[in-house]
Amino acid sequence: MPLNNRVKLPSAFKWATDLCQLGASCTRRSQLIWIVRRRVFHSGFFGTSRWERGEPNMPAKTRKATATVCLACCTLILVIPACRRGQVTIPASPRLVVVYANDFDGPAGSTFPEWTTSPVTFVKTVTGETGSLPAGAVTTVESPNRRQRFLGEFGGPPIGRPGDPDWNRTRVDQSVRLSLKGLRPHTRVKVSFDLYVLKSWDGNSPRYGPDRFTVRVAGGSVLLATTFSNNPKVREDGSYQSYPGANGVAADHAPQTGAASTGTLGYSDFFSDGVYQLSFAFPHTESALTLEFSSSLFEGKGTADESWGLDNVVVSADVTTVSQPASERRKRSGHRIS
Ligand SMILES: [Ca+2]
Ligand SMILES: [Ca+2]
């Protein structure tokens, strides 16, 4: 029986042409195998999709034979010669690539253009006074025991003075931003960092808190919204923390739950310190990325009372790399690639 009585020739021709175009783009044998496998076994050619619906009486044997003949012809006449010529390139598989990393271990006082801060804003909850103060430069500092340098200390300066009606009763907000530009095409980003929770954070305390920490993608999703506590006086102060609960999950965990280490930075004089190793992955496609790390602390006694820092910040993206055509590689390397 003539082929065009069994199979839609235009569709078959389109399929073959499509395969040839894709096959012509491969520069390595592994790519050819990948293309053939993808086009043949995922196109529905052997399956029950459009071919089966369009030609319900077409025997499976005929379908397979047609596909095999088509494939063999395309491979012999078009694909293999094109591969040898290495005419064009195809995207390689996406892989996670580090696009930014900083351990802040340089000299204390170092600054970085990609790191900026918002002004410090405050709300005095007794008198109702609000305001904004410059936050100063974002720099590296050294821990009291000199074991670590990191970006900090953040949280805001003292607001008012001891004895003021709002002393201990002021909410203070600060956002520190990491801005990256010129990222290669990508679809996902992963950010990892160490959060240093320093001194007397009070978690969910109704008296001295809540002391909140948030990570968000500017103009995008919230990656973390939770509370942290170094205050062990949970019975008196209610200073439980939400973390590891986050993003709307109400929880009362013991202070420093989930910390990778505690008391390792030398802030032992005042409720110590907790180090949290955090990591988040999220969809992202723009060439520019801004991450916001924000604190909202209640009390207003400044960084001598409760503060935070960042260390070991790593941003990775599944950037797409493009393999060079064989002819281009030959030109650059100056020798033939077989
Ligand atoms: Ca460091
Ligand atoms: Ca507090």
CB 126 within 8 A of CB 169: yes
User: How many C-beta atoms surround the C-beta of residue 317 within 10 A?
Assistant: 25
- What's the CA-to-centroid distance between 310 and ligand 1, angstroms? 8
- Give the closest ligand to the alpha carbon of residue 155: 2
Q: What residue type is assigned to position 197 of the chain? A: V
Residue 177 alpha carbon to ligand 2 centre in Å = 22
CB distance 19 to 67 below 8 Å: no
CATH architecture of 97-317: Sandwich (2.60)
- 240/104 Cα distance (integer angstroms): 31
CA of 200 to the centre of ligand 2 (A): 7
**Cβ contacts of 44-51, under 8 Å, gap ≥ 24:** 45/15, 50/11, 51/7, 51/11
Strand extents, DSSP E, the chain: 97-102, 115-117, 120-124, 130-133, 140-142, 149-154, 170-180, 188-199, 212-217, 222-227, 261-262, 273-283, 289-299, 306-317
Q: Ligand 1 center to residue 55 CA distance, Å?
A: 66
- Report CA(143)–ligand 2 centroid distance (Å): 21
Closest-approaching ligand to the CA atom of 295: 2
How is residue 105 written in tokens? 């271990």
- In terms of Cβ atoms closer than 10 Å to its own Cβ (0-12, 13-18, 19+), residue 147 is exposed
Q: How far is the CA of 237 from the centre of ligand 2 (A)?
A: 10
Instruction: List phi, psi (to 5°) of 108.
Output: -60, 140
Q: How many CA atoms lie within 13 A of 323 on its CB side?
A: 17
CA of 142 to the centre of ligand 1 (A): 9
The pLDDT of residue 320: 72
Q: Tell me the CA–centroid distance for residue 140 and ligand 1, in Å.
A: 9
Q: Quick one: which ligand is closest to 209's CA?
A: 2
* Separation of CA 143 and ligand 1 centre (Å): 9
Yes or no: say if 294 and 182 are a contact pair by the CB < 8 Å rule.
no
Output the CA 233–ligand 2 centroid distance in Å: 13
Q: How many CB atoms lie within 10 A of CB 325?
A: 17
173 phi-psi bin (left φ>0, alpha ψ -120 to 50, beta other): beta
**Are 255 and 185 contacting, i.e. CB atoms less than 8 angstroms apart?**
no
Pick the ligand that lies closest to the CA of residue 207.
2
* Beta-carbon-side half-sphere exposure of residue 202 (alpha carbons within 13 Å): 20
Distance (angstroms) between ligand 2 centre and the Cα of 202 equals: 5
Spans of all domains in the chain: 3-90, 97-317
Taking the model in full, what pTM does it have?
0.69
> Which one of the ligands is nearest to 193 CA?
1
Ligand lying nearest the CA atom of residue 312: 1
Q: What pLDDT does residue 53 have?
A: 45
What string of pLDDT tens digits covers the 338 residues of the chain?
333 334 444 455 555 555 555 554 444 555 555 555 555 554 444 444 444 344 445 566 666 666 676 667 666 776 566 656 655 445 455 678 999 999 999 999 999 999 999 999 999 999 999 999 998 899 999 999 999 999 999 999 999 888 889 988 999 999 999 999 999 999 999 999 999 999 999 999 999 999 999 999 999 999 999 999 999 999 999 999 999 998 877 789 999 999 999 999 999 877 899 999 999 999 999 999 999 999 999 999 999 999 999 999 999 999 875 444 444 444 333 332 22
The string of DSSP codes covering 284-338 is --SS-EEEEEEEEEEE-B-TTTEEEEEEEEEEEE-PPPBPPPHHHHHHHHSS---
Ligand that lies nearest to the alpha carbon of residue 169, given by its number in the listed order: 2
